[in-house]
Structure 1
Amino acid sequence: MPDSADNETEESHGRRAQLRERNRLTLIEATLDCVAEIGFARTSVSTIIDRAGLSRGMIHLHFNGKDGLMDAAVQHASDLYYQNLYMLLEKVRPSAWPQERIEAVIRSDLSETILNQNNVRIWYAFRGEARERQSIRSFSDTRDDRLRGLLFQAFLTITRASDAHDPAQIARDATHGTLAILEGMWADYLIHPDAFDRNEACRIIFRFLSALFPQHFDLRGAIADPH
């Protein structure tokens, strides 16, 4: 039988690991809150630890300094974006038409969970630093490979099925056009959060897509069966 002291040691290690992860996440969330409230430049180690209620040494212990913490914070924000997106995509049938996956991307991007004042302030603050920091740019780029790849493959399936001339080029144009419109919606929300209408924003994007692919989209979204 295992020694009781060994069990206590394992439990102790487990509790310490949980505490380390909790402290790590607390620092990341405090950083994102500070960036949202006062901006990137004014977010200092002092403001972060005051918000987190932890010691300055914790930042060095978990992140090797402020730069490492900022990198971890923007990656965490990106992970939350994709968690919401993948959760919506999981509700789309594996055999679903590609336009249904595109609709899921649009509705996720414009959802209250993702498009809210806190997130918008965070992302625009980080993007202000993206030019100087590759580590930040890689997680805040509207041409992110995961998002762009997901849209491109869906549009490519549509264009190939329609026997369009140069389907890859049409798919690329549709991908960049969709991302550009979504980016414009975020900018509009940043400036006019109280007047922003999510349903109208979705309708505008679907109007653009229905003009390109009338058999696959209408003003309400994806046409489940284009035949």
Structure 2
Amino acid sequence: MTGKRQQAREKNRLTLIEAVLDSVAEKGISETSVSEIIQRAGLSRGMIHLHFGGKDNLLNEAVKHSSEEYYQGLYALLNAAGDTGQERIEMIVRGDLSEEVLNRRNVSIWYAFRGEARNRAAIAAYSDTRDAKLRNMVHDAFSRIAQEAGAAEAADIARDATHGTLAMLEGMWTDYLLHPDIFDREESVRVVFRFLSALFPKHFGVNGAIANGRSKRVDG
């Protein structure tokens, strides 16, 4: 396959995936028909079978693509963050609640796919609240913080901090889904760090970077 043909193939593939995601965001999965997809993509019906073998595989690739985009953005933020566990947690929290990540399109896509996760393993693999990739990333940072704090039960505290932080972030996403017009991003960030200040007062409390305003902002 020539370079131009390969580029055209990848372009058509991505166009179909984006058409699916746009439709899911606006209409939900049940209304995302083949006709809806090809109308949005401006491509023929046969293109779906050529590139994906059918609508189900296209949906699977769409949720995978959405997940990969999330992590690409997260990795970019972490590359810009400092090396300490505290700086990495700050960037993850602020990034996850930023307008770039938490917006009407993304939250609609996320919860639409979550609704299908129980019956479709391929979708569940990319829409799990216990996603190992994110959980390990957060847990690693909290483990470093707990050790720096000299916590007697560092392993247990890191585990609980990970579980609690991810649960709060998901709760904020749900709150945004239900009340997008009155959702307060800064208040949400503050709530998460107030919880963390109880566990790690030296890192997130009155003497930490949060209170002193040295945190990096990523939401403009």
TM-score normalised per structure 2: 0.92
Q: Deviating runs (4+, > 6 A) in structure 1?
A: none
1:177-216 counterparts in 2 under 5 A?
177-216=164-203
Match of 1:73 in 2: 62
Greater radius of gyration (CA) = 1
- In the alignment, the residues of structure 1 paired with residue 114 and residue 210 of structure 2 have an alpha-carbon distance, to the nearest angstrom, of 30
Query: How big is each residue's C-alpha offset from its partner over 1:27-74, in whole Å with a ceiling of 9 and x where there is no partner?
Result: 000000000111011111111011101011111111111111011100
Report the Cα offset of residue 166 of structure 1: 2.7
1:113 to 100, 105, 115: 100
Match of 1:123 in 2: 110
Match of 1:63 in 2: 52
- In the alignment, the residues of structure 1 paired with residue 211 and residue 58 of structure 2 have an alpha-carbon distance, to the nearest angstrom, of 40
TM-score normalised per structure 1: 0.89
In structure 2, the residue corresponding to 1:140 is in which secondary structure?
A: coil
Contact conserved, 1:100 with 1:222, CA < 8 A, in 2?
A: no
Q: Structure 1: give runs of 5+ residues left out of the alignment.
A: 1-11
Equivalent pairs, count: 211
Query: How big is each residue's C-alpha offset from its partner over 1:119-154, in whole Å with a ceiling of 9 and x where there is no partner?
Result: 110000000000111111111112111110011011
- In the alignment, the residues of structure 2 paired with residue 17 and residue 221 of structure 1 have an alpha-carbon distance, to the nearest angstrom, of 48
Contact conserved, 2:113 with 2:127, CA < 8 A, in 1?
A: yes
- In the alignment, the residues of structure 2 paired with residue 215 and residue 164 of structure 1 have an alpha-carbon distance, to the nearest angstrom, of 11
1:169 aligns with 2:156: yes
1:160 aligns with 2:147: yes
In structure 2, the residue corresponding to 1:196 is in which secondary structure?
A: coil
Contact conserved, 1:99 with 1:222, CA < 8 A, in 2?
A: no
For the aligned residue pairs, the C-alpha RMSD in angstroms reads 1.6
Report the Cα offset of residue 222 of structure 1: 8.2
- In the alignment, the residues of structure 2 paired with residue 176 and residue 143 of structure 1 have an alpha-carbon distance, to the nearest angstrom, of 9
In structure 2, the residue corresponding to 1:216 is in which secondary structure?
A: helix
Match of 1:52 in 2: 41
Q: Mean Cα displacement is larger for which, 161-170 or 73-82?
A: 161-170
Q: Structure 2: give runs of 5+ residues left out of the alignment.
A: 215-220
2:121 to 122, 127, 134: 134
Match of 1:38 in 2: 27
Match of 1:99 in 2: 86
Contact conserved, 1:36 with 1:119, CA < 8 A, in 2?
A: yes
Contact conserved, 1:109 with 1:182, CA < 8 A, in 2?
A: yes
